[in-house]
Amino acid sequence: MRGNMAKTKQTGQKLNKKPMNLRLRPWLIILPTLVVTLGILYPFYQAVFYSLTDYSLKKPVWHFVGLKNWLEMFKGVNFWHSLWVTVKYTIAALVVEMGLGLVIALSLNRKDNLFTRILKVVLIFPLMVSPVIATLLFKLMTNSSVGVVERFLNLFGVYGFPWTADSSTALFSVILIDTWVYTPFVLLLILAGLQGLPKSPYESAMIDGGSAWFTFKTLTLPLLKPVILITLIFRLCAAIQEFSIIYSTTKGGPGDTLMNLSLSAYRDAFTYSSIGKAVPQILVLWVIINFISSKLVKAWLKAKSANNG
Amino acid sequence: MYQNKSRFAKVLGIASTVFLVIYTIFSVFPLIWMVIISFKSDVDMFKTLFIFKPTLDNFRNVLTTGNYVKAFGDNFIICSGAVLVSVIVGVPAAYALARYNFKRKETVAFTILSFKFAPEILIIIPLFAIFQKLHLYDTYFGMIWIYQFIGLPLLIWVLRGYFEDIPVEMERAAELDGYSWFEVFFKMLIPLIRPGLVAAALLTFIFCWNNFTFGLMLCGFNIQTITVSALTYIATDTIHYGQMAVASLIAIAPEIVLCLCIQKHLVRGLSFGAVKG
Amino acid sequence: MARIRLDHVTKKYGSITALKDVSIDVKDNEFYVIFGPAGAGKTSVLNLIAGISDPEEGDILFDDAYMNYVEPRERDVAMVFENYALYPHKTVYENIASSMRTKKYRQPEEVVDREVKRVAAMMNISELLERKPTQASNGQRQRIALGRALVRNPNVFLMDEPLAHLDAKLRNSMRKELKSMQEAFHTTTIYVTHDYTEAMSLGDRIAVIHEGSICQVGTGNEVYYLPETEFVAKLFGDCEINILKGCVTEEKGRTGIRLPYGEEVYPVPDDVGERLQCAGVKDVDIGFRGWAIDYSREPRKGYVRGKIYTHEPLGNKVELTVSLGDDMIRFIVHVDERFEIDEAIYLHFNMDKGIFFHSETKEYLVRHNEEVMRGGGKNG
């Protein structure tokens, strides 16, 4: 019975090259990706082009204006103010979220019991909440007439805390929302990293009798470095262009307290209809993101190979 | 020496537990409170904090008046479509990145990931003009096209790790067994990456669901996304706080359900090659 | 059921040349062993035959058909991969049945069932059929992989170290099973191993491969008794062959060898002497396997004095290492004799059992009774 299987049909002629369909296969596989990639690259080049024109959403004609938009931007005050807001926001968000995320992840990882297992799921929930919805919740909670936080503060004699209404507390308020939404992201990635740590170095460290701090400093931290870096990349790139939270709280206000580059570009493009003025700001943002993230990715690859090697 | 260490460990243990409890309250209480007040009538809202007579009026109002239900539906269509496109495009791309060796592969891989980092507004501004020219503004097609960029880079990166974990010999063995390339792909590879695929697809769905900027700037009259729609509950000087809570609850509910479905795969999915196996 | 040929094949991976100008000719129904150290290019040969990779130069032929660039699935070969390459999401039964359920090799389900059960019984994995491969031990996985290949009736079986992960006892019995199976099925088999006993016991012929080139192709006896190079000689045998430096002398028409441990000249058999004279070499390397060395604990004529360096008990025998001049001589002795480290011992090298190599090219020159040895020695 074994002999009745179909035999391969063999031709005598010799193939000198890989058949066309085989050579094309890798290209066919990545073709869809190439198509959609072009779909995103074209708008990008379009954007660069717009920055050299006085293109507006309201006027039917546009003119080529050279570097006028760029020069005006660098000369003006608004751009530098927006850049400063962007930097402030990014640093504040990153420091708080990375620190908090790391500490919580380590605390959760110390013991494996029902409590920590439930927390590992529950603490991720805020990440699932859209920043806009988070803002909505924040507004509800801090509302001076019905907000539960307001009532809670009343207990301490604080009435009508201004939150986003005052320029002195606005940044603190949006960072609070940002922290609520994005700390779980840091937590999630670092937990993943902790789970993947090899066990044997810890066993030998325990035999050597190293203190908890020493183990953390010499083992956990270096081993976690790739994860920390990738988390930092993601958070940095999101925080530096944060739009949703600020837009849905104050649209950049009060005044221009929270007017970061994203919001400033949005305002120029859609409120003032001047795309030529909006695009340079966002291109600067893009250059900054690209510069920092490429440096961080290099560090990440290096840390990763150092751990594997 | 040992005494010292255990005392230190004990203090550390208590401190970390206290810290965890405080953070958990910070993290979870807003969600619980949202659920509570969504059942509160406008009258009870000002008078009570936790004890009141629950009512479904808020739900009735949000679901019957206004266009929140339509926004929910629109959002669902756009996100599902975007996830579908991301999967169709991303799975082969992830396979190619895992299996084929070509020059500057890591650069290509990073470029794909960097789309995730690029400022959304940079893309939106020219897209706004392009969309209007091509009559894609405020259409499902246009929204799906742009939404699939949200999750695609992540999907590719997650699945690349899964493909890399499958020994290439298994594919070869299947080919030698007589399977065609398509059969190998769909009968051998897809079942093996399925946990990652499901997790990544759901994660992509969540990212799309949460997106605000695209919905704000690229549609508005025919189509409204749920995040943009929810914002109208802040903007209008409403005193229907209960309805705000219901709107939030409705927007969040699908995501919490998804989160519970994928939480097992979430950690693995987001490990970016740091965790193997 | 096909003759398999590689014709001057060169395979490169990037800048690394895995195989250079390799030609092999596997006869129909032959059990052909490819033997060599790790990284020699053994698996590359199988990959080329299976169509997993394509050669940069040269041709691959099945019978008289050129197979270059023919897709793997069109070649009708069955392969056992070193890392098993099982389908983790399918049961053991489905793994073994998989080829018979493809469009290409479709069989009716009752045939599938019968064949799977037959092969499973043969591989002794019948009780695993409903499990997933992840629930099997490494040895079991290897047998599943073997089963998946053996259920087919292909042009050629390609086996990449299929017994490597089995324990010694199982390996012995599987080896016998494979041999008898191959004899019954009449299917061309190309078998890769780094285990010389496997190579010798299974192979109709053995191709010794090193750094991407074939060093020698021959029967087990040929590669063992008549190795073409010192390198091949070193690969076979329980304890590595001892290579001594010798000086060819001639006295009254008789050729002899002087070893570096004294002035004594050892006469060589006539057939060896003639060949050495013809070749006109002055210095030779002589390979002595353990059993070509006699020892004595007392001084005797023709024996040279050495000192015991180590003795390593190996169950029923002991491997003795003796330091002699600058050399270390290894051979096997009986376990019932007691030896002390640093004890004096006297060795005698049987020139009629030595293998003579050129001292510079390290290539084979001659040995006593070549033709007898080719058919199988009476010793060893």
Token pair for A15: 């193939």
pLDDT at B48: 63
Cis peptide before A60 (omega within 30 of 0): no
For residue range B92-141, list pLDDT tens digits in order.
988 988 888 777 777 777 777 777 777 888 888 888 888 888 888 888 98
Percent of chain C exceeding pLDDT 90 equals: 40
For residue range C234-264, list pLDDT tens digits in order.
998 878 899 999 899 888 778 888 888 878 8
pLDDT at B268: 62
Residues 9-28 of A with CB under 8 A from B: 25-26
- CA A42 vs CA A47, B34, B105, B122, C171: distances in Å: 9, 43, 22, 12, 62
Residues of A in contact with C69 (CB under 8 A): 15-19, 22
Residue B3 has pLDDT above 60, yes or no: no
Pick one of 3.40.50.300, 3.40.50.10210, 3.40.630.30, 3.20.20.100 as the CATH number of C4-234.
3.40.50.300
Q: Given the structure tokens 């880079």, which residue do they identify?
A: B153
Q: What is the mean pLDDT of residues C52-61?
A: 90
Higher pLDDT, A253 or A258: A258
pLDDT at B276: 40
Chain center to CA of B123: 20
Residue A155: partners with Cβ closer than 8 Å, 6 or more residues away: none
Higher pLDDT, A217 or C135: C135
> Hey, do C4-234 and C239-374 end up sharing a CATH topology, with the first three levels equal?
no
For residue range B199-241, list pLDDT tens digits in order.
888 888 888 988 888 888 888 788 888 888 888 876 655 567 8
pLDDT at C376: 59
Q: What are chain C's partners, defined as 3 or more CB pairs within 8 angstroms?
A: A, B
Three-state SS at B184: helix
Query: Does domain B59-269 correspond to CATH entry 3.40.50.300?
Result: no
pLDDT at C189: 92
pLDDT at B274: 42
| Residue B169: closest C-alpha in chain C | C85
Pick one of 1.10.600.10, 2.130.10.30, 1.10.3720.10, 3.40.1410.10 as the CATH number of A68-308.
1.10.3720.10
Residue A89 has pLDDT above 90, yes or no: yes
For residue range C167-226, list pLDDT tens digits in order.
888 888 888 888 887 777 778 999 999 998 899 989 999 999 999 999 999 998 899 999
Q: In what order do the strands lie in the sheet with C4-13?
A: C16-26, C4-13, C57-62, C65-66
Domain boundaries, chain A: 68-308
pLDDT at A99: 94
Q: Are strands C31-35 and C188-193 parallel, antiparallel or unpaired?
A: parallel
> Who among C64, C68, C76 is closest to A7 (CB)?
C76
Confidence at C138, pLDDT banded by 50, 70, 90: confident
Q: What is the CA radius of gyration of chain A?
A: 27
Q: What is the mean pLDDT of residues C40-48?
A: 92
Residue C380 has pLDDT above 50, yes or no: no
What's the one-letter identity of residue A155? L
Q: Do C83 and B176 touch (CB under 8 A)?
A: no
For residue range A113-154, list pLDDT tens digits in order.
888 888 888 888 888 888 888 988 888 888 777 778 887 888
**Out of A116-125, A177-186, A236-245, B175-184, which region has the weakest mean confidence (pLDDT)?**
A116-125
Closest of C244, C240, C239 to residue C351, by C-alpha: C244
Q: Do B173 and C77 touch (CB under 8 A)?
A: no
Classify domain C239-374 at the CATH topology level. Answer: OB fold (Dihydrolipoamide Acetyltransferase, E2P) (2.40.50)
Three-state SS at C143: helix
Domain boundaries, chain C: 4-234, 239-374
**Best residue of B37, B240, B272, B275 to probe chain A, by most A CBs closer than 10 Å:** B272
| Residue C111: closest C-alpha in chain A | A1
Percent of chain C exceeding pLDDT 70 equals: 98
| Residue A18: closest C-alpha in chain C | C69
Q: Is C114 near chain B, with CB under 8 Å?
A: no
| Residue B102: closest C-alpha in chain C | C14
